[in-house]
Amino acid sequence: MPNCFELLATTYENAMSAVLHEELTCVTIASISTGNMGVPCDEAAQVALRTIQKFLRANHWEGTLGIVCYEESVLKAFTKQKQTLLERFNEALDLPSLAQDNLPRWPFRHL
């Protein structure tokens, strides 16, 4: 059974594949699972940006991509992870991992 980080990465992969398929050149994506779904902001930002990095390294896509962060804490996490990623863009960075018993599971947080 995939963990929440793998599922989140697949979601971003599917979004970016749709961008490529539809030949879009200007795209905005909301930060996924950083609100009421309970995925920690730092890890969600790592997954998002590393998945997008992997996509950009594997595909020829020239465009503008924005990620919408609805909360200050999410923006800070994405800004921090963006800097880390840019410093190591050509490296294949791993997705975050937690101890198996500490991984958020679906549903991540009961509403």
67: domain CATH number is 3.40.220.10
Q: Is residue 57 part of a domain?
A: yes
pLDDT the model gives residue 10: 93
Q: Is residue 98 part of a domain?
A: no
Verdict on whether the full-model pTM lies above 0.85 = no
Domain region containing 74: 4-22+29-92
Specify the 3-state DSSP secondary structure of 59. Answer: coil
Q: Is residue 55 part of a domain?
A: yes
**Contact yes or no for 103/65 (Cβ under 8 A):** no
Average pLDDT, the chain: 82
pLDDT the model gives residue 36: 66
Q: Is residue 103 part of a domain?
A: no
Q: Is residue 102 part of a domain?
A: no
The mean per-residue pLDDT over the stretch 21-42 comes to 87
- For residue 32, which of 19, 56, 13, 18 has the smallest C-alpha distance? 13
Q: How many structural domains are present in the chain? A: 1
Q: Is residue 53 part of a domain?
A: yes
